Amino acid sequence: MTAQRAATMSRSARTLQTPSLLRPALACAPAGLHAAGAIGARAAALACVALPGALLCWCAALAQPWPAKPIRFVINSAPGGAPDIIGRAVAQRLSEQIGQQVIVDNRAGASGIIATELVAKAAPDGYTALLGATTIFAMLPAMKSKLPYDVERDFAPVMLLASAANVVVVNGALPAKSVAELIALARTRTLHYASAGNGTPAHLAGEMMNLMASLKMTHVPYKGAGPALADVIAGQVQLIITSPVAAMPHVAGGRVRLLATTGARRDPLLPDLPVVADTLPGFEITQWWGMALPAKTPRAIVDRLNADLARVLQHPELRERLTQQGAVLGGGSSDDFRRFIATERTRLGRIIRQAGITMED
């Protein structure tokens, strides 16, 4: 072998050696990648080093089975509202199902944008989840031209957990026992309706009633359904259109009164309650809640969590607790939930544009 050829081979060998910076990446690369050859594995490791956040998530996911630590479950509502009630009930049973604590993190405010942005920008490792809702996934994209996330691009839907037609709830002392009487009263005096925040289903429902009945009720936004309902009970505002999950516990004592449900047909759990559409034909709005993870979360984790949630929703105590409060439990695959979100975004977006509801950026 000539001296020149030996030198060339030596340089080639040095080129194929793995720098110390790449060794962690290669250590956690899938076995199949190593089987493809040193050059292919080394190229993938280079890509990981260039994207350290993705590398860390990838390595962590491969190093140990999911879940290996507690999961943070972010809810865009203050304690006491329907999202909080449903989220905590699911979190408790999910903790038992997966053998890891599911920690509820209430992040109210900005119509859910604060909570949603937090999860959208979290690591896609399966340890930060969002309780997505009608407002977040179907309404805000039509109301705001600028959001700090993209609901289609930045999330991996997991499962629809529950849905519920809203109910028209008035303070127990208000002299209105039907939607027709409420409309008549609103034409003689100024009424204030509460909501869980600007751009929430309660806000949309109130503006739909204003539009369809030619009223001028005043909107009073709160940071969550809990505080909003508390002020309806106290008489600070006269009404709210909200979920029966939050309202039902206060009906028996006479502190609030239910006038109607906002679904297309009577709620089988509230068969004596008429629908708003009996008085205002075409009036329909429901709320729904589901779990979502940051986009790029490994599909294996999404599928595993979907399967775990399916088992959670079959738990007799959970089903009894939520159905007694007016919720209809969900289910289905992650792809089913993605299609449902797209359909709702189209339907509600059309109503929002017709009503002219916008939010300042």
**Could you give the CA distance from residue 246 to residue 353 in angstroms, rounded to a whole number?**
28
Query: Which structural domain range is residue 20 located in?
Result: 13-63
Are 337 and 152 in contact, with CB atoms under 8 Å apart? no
Closest CA to 148 of 196, 105, 115, 195: 115
CATH number at residue 201: 3.40.190.10
Instruction: Find out whether 192 and 238 touch, Cβ atoms under 8 Å.
Output: yes
At 294, which CATH number? 3.40.190.150
pLDDT-derived band at 361 (thresholds 50, 70, 90) equals low
Apex 278 CA angle, 273 and 281, nearest 5 = 140
Beta pairing partners, 258: 169
pLDDT tens-digit readout, 222-246: 988 889 999 999 999 999 998 887 8
Residue 273 belongs to a domain: yes
Same domain, yes or no, for 269 and 182? yes
| Number of domains, the chain | 3
Helix (H, G, I), strand (E, B) or coil at 355: helix
Is 7 contained in some domain? no
Indicate whether 40 pLDDT > 80. Answer: no
What's the rounded Cα separation, in Å, for the pair 131 and 292?
7
201-214 tens-digit pLDDT: 888 899 989 989 99
State pTM to two decimals: 0.71
Higher pLDDT, 293 or 271: 293
Residue 258 shares a structural domain with residue 213 = yes
In the predicted structure, residue 307 carries a pLDDT above the cut 60: yes
**CA-to-CA dists, residue 109 to 106, 114, 155, 224, 227, angstroms:** 10, 6, 20, 7, 12
| Length of the chain in terms of residues written | 361
Model confidence pLDDT, tens digit, residues 308-349: 999 999 999 999 988 877 788 999 999 999 999 999 999 889
Domain-ending residue, one of 278, 297, 321: 278
The answer to the question of residue 140 being in a domain is yes
Helix, coil or strand: residue 257 = strand
Q: Do 270 and 135 belong together in one domain?
A: no
pLDDT band, residue 18 (cuts 50/70/90): very low
* pLDDT score at 59: 52
